[in-house]
Amino acid sequence: MRENRVKRILRQGGLALGTHVGGIADPQIVEIIGLAGFDAAFIDMEHTSLDLHDVQAMVMAAERVGITPIVRTPGFDPAFILRLLDMGVQGIQVPHVQDAEAARAAVKAVRYPPEGERGMAAGSRAAEFGRIPLVEHMAQSNREVLLACMIEDMAAVECINEIAAVEGVDLLAVGPSDLSRSLGVSGTPDHPRLVAAIERVRMAAQHSAGARLALPLDHAAYPRNAAQLKAMGVGYTNCAPTPEARLLKSMREQAAEARKELG
């Protein structure tokens, strides 16, 4: 497995920039993301209709442009995560991790023994179809695969110190929209309760077993720019919007401008 660009940035103490692949099932979107200068392509299988064939093509595109393919899974299913890892996915983001037990289960699913319980497949694509010796592949995977646990429920915030203490978690990824919903403050940007909850996660990350904080850039519920995120110690951010939203905005502006010129 090649070096994980996002994990390299995390090790160096930097802020890695990712952006959404969105729901357009075309690997060229991933190539564009890489050519635009992002560090990661965020492939969302929780809120889109993307299937495994779509994801594999996107992984290959990410490899071509040297960025990290991160997949948000629909839920927590070790067997499904295994299939993603064996095809070469370099990052797994598990939604709605609510306690340390769930975080430990996620680590077991993404790490080979002795760090976890990931099943072995010596001839997988991730092992270059057997070209890389199994022991070497296992060590590479444990070093380079990124695990992000999503903190998007107040139940998770209440036990965030225990979650942060789980070894093998690379990112504590806050989901401001769902966390706002859980707090009962949806639709109120920068609500004090949301700000306080995120601060608890930030502090836990500072004293974690190795996890960095992840927060989205300029999120509607928690608007922060890149410099502000860096000052908070954030290690990874997703830059909205999705490609289809970017495309729609650009096309609407062009059409409106053309109609204005027509009178």
pLDDT in tens, 35-64: 999 999 999 999 999 999 999 999 999 999
Q: Is 59 exposed, middle or buried (0-12, 13-18, 19+ CB in 10 A)?
A: buried
Question: What is residue 171's predicted lDDT score, i.e. its pLDDT?
Answer: 98
Question: What is residue 66's predicted lDDT score, i.e. its pLDDT?
Answer: 98
pLDDT(1) > 90: no
Report how far residue 30's alpha carbon sits from residue 42's, in angstroms, rounded to the nearest whole number.
9
Residue corresponding to tokens 């442009």: 65
pLDDT(2) > 90: no
**What are the structural domains, with CATH classification, of the chain?**
5-262 (3.20.20.60)
pLDDT digits (tens, 9 = 90+) for 59-92: 999 999 999 999 999 999 999 999 999 999 999 9
Report how far residue 105's alpha carbon sits from residue 98's, in angstroms, rounded to the nearest whole number.
12
Which residues on adjacent β-strands are paired with residue 213? 172, 234
Cβ pair 129, 123 in contact under 8 A = yes
Report how far residue 257's alpha carbon sits from residue 13's, in angstroms, rounded to the nearest whole number.
43
Phi, psi of 239 (to 5 degrees): -100, 115
Residues labelled as active-site residues: 47
Report how far residue 145's alpha carbon sits from residue 114's, in angstroms, rounded to the nearest whole number.
15
Please work out, in degrees rounded to the nearest 5, the angle formed at the alpha carbon of residue 79 by the alpha carbons of 73 and 166.
Answer: 70
Tell me how far CA of residue 117 lies from CA of 24, 110, 130, in angstroms: 33, 8, 20
pLDDT digits (tens, 9 = 90+) for 114-128: 999 999 999 999 999
Mean pLDDT computed over every residue of the chain: 97
